[in-house]
Chain A
Amino acid sequence: MTDTVVVIGGGPAGIEAARNIADLGVRAVLVEERDRLGGTPIFESYAALTPYFEDAEEAMDAMIAALHERDLADVRTNARVTALSGEAGNFTVTVEGAGGSEDVSAGAVVVCTGFTHFDPGRERQVYNYYQYPDVLALQDLEVQLKAHDVRVPSTGEVPRRICWVQCVGSRDRNIGNEYCSKVCCGVASKQAIEVRRICPETKAYIFYIDMRMYGYWEQQLYWPAQEEHHVQYIKGIITEVLEVRGQGLVVRGEDTTMGRPMEVPMDMVILSVGMEPSDGTRAMASLLGVDQNKYGFVEVAHPPLDTVTTTRAGIFAAGAALGPADLEDTISTAGAAATKAVALIRRGAPAVA
Chain B
Amino acid sequence: MTIPVELVNGPARKNKKAFEFSEQHAPEDFHDRLFELEEAGELIVQRVPGPYIEVPVKYGRSKKVPIGQTWHHKSCGQCGHIPGYSTSIFWVNRKLGIEYHDPTDQTSCTAWNYYASATSNAAAQACVAMRNFAAAYESDHFPIIHCGTSFGHYKEVRHEILAHDKLRAEVREVLKSMNKPLVMPEEMVHYSEWFYAMRDRIAELQVRDFSKISCTVHPACHYYKLVEGDAIYDPEVYGGQRTAVVSGVATALGAEVRDYSTWFDCCGFGFRHILVQRDFSRSFATQRKIKRMKEEADPDVTLTHDTGCVTTLDKSQFAAKAQDPDFATIPVLSEAQFAALAMGAHPYKVCQLHWHAADYKPLLEKMGIDHEKAWAEFEEACAKLERGEQQYLTWDDVDAEPGVVVPR
Across the interface, do B22 and A126 meet the contact criterion of CB distance under 8 Å? no
Q: Please name the residue on chain B nearest to A144 by beta carbon.
A: B15
Which size class do B's interface residues fall under?
A: 20 to 34
> Is the CB of B27 closer than 8 A to any CB of chain A?
yes
Across the interface, do A130 and B264 meet the contact criterion of CB distance under 8 Å? no
Nearest CB of B to A249, in Å:
9
Across the interface, do B261 and A125 meet the contact criterion of CB distance under 8 Å? no
Across the interface, do B13 and A133 meet the contact criterion of CB distance under 8 Å? yes
Across the interface, do B13 and A245 meet the contact criterion of CB distance under 8 Å? no
Across the interface, do A133 and B264 meet the contact criterion of CB distance under 8 Å? no
Taking a contact as CB atoms closer than 8 A, the residue among A122, A126, A130, A250 that contacts B13 in the complex is A130
In the bound complex, CA of A279 to CA of B25 (Å): 11
In the complex, chain B residues whose CB is within 8 Å of the CB of A130 = 5, 13, 16, 19, 239, 241
Across the interface, do A136 and B24 meet the contact criterion of CB distance under 8 Å? no
Across the interface, do A240 and B264 meet the contact criterion of CB distance under 8 Å? yes
In the complex, chain B residues whose CB is within 8 Å of the CB of A140 = 15-16
Across the interface, do A132 and B9 meet the contact criterion of CB distance under 8 Å? yes
Nearest CB of A to B4, in Å:
10
In the complex, chain B residues whose CB is within 8 Å of the CB of A126 = 264
Q: Please name the residue on chain A nearest to B20 by beta carbon.
A: A121
> Is the CB of A348 closer than 8 A to any CB of chain B?
no
Across the interface, do A132 and B241 meet the contact criterion of CB distance under 8 Å? no
Nearest CB of B to A22, in Å:
34
Across the interface, do B261 and A243 meet the contact criterion of CB distance under 8 Å? yes
Supposing A242-B261, A243-B261 touch, asked if A125 and B15 sit within 8 A by C-beta, the answer is no
Taking a contact as CB atoms closer than 8 A, the residue among A122, A153, A242, A282 that contacts B21 in the complex is A122
> Is the CB of A244 closer than 8 A to any CB of chain B?
yes
> Is the CB of B120 closer than 8 A to any CB of chain A?
no
> Is the CB of A154 closer than 8 A to any CB of chain B?
yes
Across the interface, do B296 and A244 meet the contact criterion of CB distance under 8 Å? yes
Supposing A122-B25, A130-B239 touch, asked if A154 and B19 sit within 8 A by C-beta, the answer is no
Supposing A176-B27, A244-B296 touch, asked if A133 and B21 sit within 8 A by C-beta, the answer is no
> Is the CB of A326 closer than 8 A to any CB of chain B?
no
> Is the CB of B240 closer than 8 A to any CB of chain A?
yes
In the complex, chain A residues whose CB is within 8 Å of the CB of B25 = 122
In the complex, chain B residues whose CB is within 8 Å of the CB of A153 = 15
In the bound complex, CA of A223 to CA of B238 (Å): 41
In the bound complex, CA of A279 to CA of B5 (Å): 27
Taking a contact as CB atoms closer than 8 A, the residue among A125, A133, A136, A242 that contacts B10 in the complex is A133
> Is the CB of B166 closer than 8 A to any CB of chain A?
no
Supposing A153-B15, A244-B296, A245-B296 touch, asked if A131 and B22 sit within 8 A by C-beta, the answer is no
Taking a contact as CB atoms closer than 8 A, the residue among B9, B11, B242 that contacts A125 in the complex is B242
In the bound complex, CA of A125 to CA of B19 (Å): 11
Nearest CB of A to B299, in Å:
13
> Is the CB of B108 closer than 8 A to any CB of chain A?
no
Across the interface, do B9 and A282 meet the contact criterion of CB distance under 8 Å? no
Supposing A125-B242, A131-B5 touch, asked if A242 and B15 sit within 8 A by C-beta, the answer is no
Contact mask B255-279 → A, CB, 8 Å, 1/0? 0000001101100000000000000
Taking a contact as CB atoms closer than 8 A, the residue among B11, B240, B265, B296 that contacts A133 in the complex is B11
> Is the CB of A119 closer than 8 A to any CB of chain B?
yes
In the complex, chain B residues whose CB is within 8 Å of the CB of A296 = 24
In the complex, chain B residues whose CB is within 8 Å of the CB of A122 = 19, 21-22, 25
Taking a contact as CB atoms closer than 8 A, the residue among A136, A176, A243, A279 that contacts B9 in the complex is A243
In the complex, chain B residues whose CB is within 8 Å of the CB of A242 = 261-262
The interface centre, meaning the residue of B16, B265, B296 with most chain A CB atoms within 10 A of its CB, is B16
> Is the CB of A115 closer than 8 A to any CB of chain B?
no
Within 8 A of A (CB), among B213-246: 238-242
In the complex, chain A residues whose CB is within 8 Å of the CB of B19 = 119, 121-122, 130
> Is the CB of B164 closer than 8 A to any CB of chain A?
no
> Is the CB of A46 closer than 8 A to any CB of chain B?
no
In the bound complex, CA of A242 to CA of B13 (Å): 16
> Is the CB of A91 closer than 8 A to any CB of chain B?
no
Q: Please name the residue on chain B nearest to A296 by beta carbon.
A: B24
In the complex, chain A residues whose CB is within 8 Å of the CB of B240 = 121
> Is the CB of A207 closer than 8 A to any CB of chain B?
no
Q: Please name the residue on chain A nearest to B238 by beta carbon.
A: A131
Across the interface, do B241 and A131 meet the contact criterion of CB distance under 8 Å? yes
> Is the CB of A129 closer than 8 A to any CB of chain B?
yes
Across the interface, do A154 and B10 meet the contact criterion of CB distance under 8 Å? yes
Contact mask A212-253 → B, CB, 8 Å, 1/0? 000000000000000000000000000010111100001000
Q: Please name the residue on chain A nearest to B13 by beta carbon.
A: A133
Contact mask A105-145 → B, CB, 8 Å, 1/0? 00000000000000101100110111111001000100000
In the complex, chain A residues whose CB is within 8 Å of the CB of B14 = 133
Nearest CB of A to B113, in Å:
24
Q: Please name the residue on chain B nearest to A282 by beta carbon.
A: B24
In the complex, chain B residues whose CB is within 8 Å of the CB of A136 = 15
Nearest CB of A to B57, in Å:
14
In the complex, chain B residues whose CB is within 8 Å of the CB of A119 = 19
In the complex, chain B residues whose CB is within 8 Å of the CB of A176 = 27
In the complex, chain B residues whose CB is within 8 Å of the CB of A132 = 9-10
Q: Please name the residue on chain B nearest to A276 by beta carbon.
A: B25
Nearest CB of A to B218, in Å:
14
In the bound complex, CA of A130 to CA of B241 (Å): 7
Q: Please name the residue on chain B nearest to A136 by beta carbon.
A: B15
In the bound complex, CA of A264 to CA of B187 (Å): 42
Across the interface, do B10 and A243 meet the contact criterion of CB distance under 8 Å? yes
Q: Please name the residue on chain B nearest to A120 by beta carbon.
A: B19
Query: Can you report 5 residue pairs joining A to B where beta carbons are below 8 Å apart?
Result: A121-B239, A122-B22, A128-B241, A132-B10, A133-B15
Extra contacts besides A133-B15, A244-B296 (12): CB < 8 Å: A119-B19, A121-B19, A121-B241, A122-B25, A130-B13, A131-B13, A131-B239, A140-B15, A154-B10, A242-B261, A245-B261, A245-B296
Task: Pick the 5 closest A-B CB pairs, nearest first.
Answer: A121-B19, A242-B261, A125-B241, A126-B264, A245-B296
